[in-house]
Amino acid sequence: MLRAELERLGASRLGPLAIGGHAYRFAGGLELDVLESSAPWVSAALDHPAITSLGWPVIDLSYLVLMKLEAGRDRDLR
């Protein structure tokens, strides 16, 4: 469903991400990583986003840390 919507908006699917999910690129060059996870904390993270000064919902810092730990990549663990 999300993939179809992104493609409808002009995004091209670039390929899978090492941490689960896929990367997309829009015509203007903007790249978007769509992460996929079945971790038990994901629902809470989506239900309780932090809000940026522009009013955009983003993953709260505590959940971002969990996501980075789950990814387990050296750069994320640093």
* Contact in structure between 1 and 19 (CB atoms under 8 Å): no
| Predicted local distance difference test score (pLDDT) of residue 26 | 95
**Closest by Cα among 35, 17, 19 to 69:** 19
Tell me the pTM.
0.69
CA distance 9 to 18: 24
Size of the chain, expressed as the number of residues it contains: 78
Chain segment 20-74, per-residue pLDDT in tens: 889 999 999 999 999 888 889 999 999 999 999 999 999 999 998 888 888 777 8
CA separation for the pair 55, 72 (Å, rounded): 30
Q: What's the pLDDT score for residue 78? A: 74
pLDDT at position 77 is: 73
- Rg, the chain, Cα only: 14
